Amino acid sequence: MAASVASSLSLSLWSGSHRLRPYKPKPSSLSFSLSHQYQYQYQYQYQYQTLRSLRCRCTPPEAEEAEEAEDEAEDEANDDQEEASPLPPMFSGPLFDWPDETPEEVAKGYERLYGPAFSGHSHLGGNIYHMDAVLNKLIDEFDNLIVTKPVDDFEERVVQVRRVTKVVKGGKNLSFRAIVVVGDKKGHVGVGVGKALEVSEAVVKAVINGRRNIVTVPLTKHLTFPHRATGKFRAAEVMLRPAAPGSGVIAGGAVRAVLELAGLQNALGKQLGSDNALNNARATIVATQQMRHLADVARDRGIPMEELWK
């Protein structure tokens, strides 16, 4: 019993001799979540409750009353101090109070990092990087990627679209082949072929190929051939004959498409060999290239045109 009383007295004396002082942490520039006064208050309450729970019930009431009175006096003093100086807000603005920058200083800083602005005006001097030229170049490249139909007098007529197969080691590759005749009905015509996985793409390729192979067909004032001609292309053979005014185009298949887009209104055409549309169209082109005007023949021979009729 004496030992317990002695231990309680020693504990009470130790707690009385070592007064509780608020914990003062080192100031840090990054601790903005709570003010220092809040930290002191929470640390003080934690220490006080911990030591109070360790006290024994045998503590003399006089010492306990005196300590409680001192604690109340300290609390009142702290309350008065808090009322006198209100606590600052949790976060009151930037970490550093920088001076205001002028727009020119901001523009110079931006130019150091990213270069001049879109206007091309430089605040630092030196070479000015114009963005307008770059944008115009990009726009031109983008416009070139868009496939647009050229504005001219040429007309297009699809003669045939077939599904073709290419046999490879792994199997068969299916695609489409289009035959297109392009002409302006003024003596210029061309035949083009295109292959693609889609029909529309094959037709576009065929039109481009036909425009690259434009030939000139000789015509008379009655819009017919100047003389007879026969053209051969591989197994196909086409016979062309002039016709009287009002006869019209008497032909069929690919031959008719080529003659009409070439501008002929009175002509006769006959397929003598294969019925392949591509070969017949190209045979028609070969036959038209064999024809010549009387004036051209007379000029090449160096004689007047009347001599040709003798």
pLDDT in tens, 12-21: 544 454 454 5
The per-residue pLDDT for 196 is 96
Share of the chain above pLDDT 90, in %: 47
245 sits in which H/E element: none
Distance CA 159, CA 285 (A): 15
Distance CA 230, CA 273 (A): 12
The per-residue pLDDT for 2 is 52
Report which of 104, 192, 207 is spatially closest to residue 154, judged by C-alpha positions.
207
Share of the chain above pLDDT 70, in %: 62
Task: Place 125 in a pLDDT band, splitting at 50, 70 and 90.
Answer: low
The per-residue pLDDT for 5 is 47
Tokens at 308, concatenated: 């040709």
- Select the more confidently predicted residue: 73 or 124: 73
**204 Cβ partners below 8 Å, 6+ apart?**
147, 194, 196
b/e burial code for range 149-167 (CB count within 10 A of at least 16 → b): eeeeebebbebbeeeeeee
Span 75-80, mean pLDDT?
Answer: 74
The per-residue pLDDT for 72 is 83
Asked which of 120-124, 161-165, 306-310 is least confident by mean pLDDT, the reply is 120-124
State which of 82-96, 122-136, 208-222 shows the largest mean pLDDT.
208-222
Task: Place 112 in a pLDDT band, splitting at 50, 70 and 90.
Answer: confident
- Select the more confidently predicted residue: 83 or 183: 183
pTM greater than the 0.75 cutoff = no
DSSP state of 101: P
pLDDT in tens, 137-150: 666 666 665 556 67
Tokens at 119, concatenated: 């206007």
Asked which of 1-10, 160-169, 211-220 is least confident by mean pLDDT, the reply is 1-10
The per-residue pLDDT for 147 is 57
The per-residue pLDDT for 272 is 95
Tokens at 307, concatenated: 């001599």
- Select the more confidently predicted residue: 245 or 25: 245
Query: In one letter, which amino acid is 73?
Result: A
The per-residue pLDDT for 40 is 47
**118 Cβ partners below 8 Å, 6+ apart?**
131
- Is 183 in contact with 154 (CB distance < 8 Å)? yes
Span 38-61, mean pLDDT?
Answer: 53
The per-residue pLDDT for 38 is 47
Asked which of 123-127, 204-208, 302-306 is least confident by mean pLDDT, the reply is 123-127
99 sits in which H/E element: none
Tokens at 276, concatenated: 């392949």
Rg (CA), the chain: 52
Task: Place 306 in a pLDDT band, splitting at 50, 70 and 90.
Answer: confident
Tokens 């005014």 locate to: 245
Report which of 223, 228, 290, 213 is spatially closest to residue 259, judged by C-alpha positions.
223
pLDDT in tens, 258-286: 999 999 999 999 999 999 999 999 999 99
Long-range contacts of 133-137 (CB under 8 A, 24+ apart): none
Task: Place 97 in a pLDDT band, splitting at 50, 70 and 90.
Answer: low
Query: In one letter, which amino acid is 156?
Result: E
The per-residue pLDDT for 61 is 62
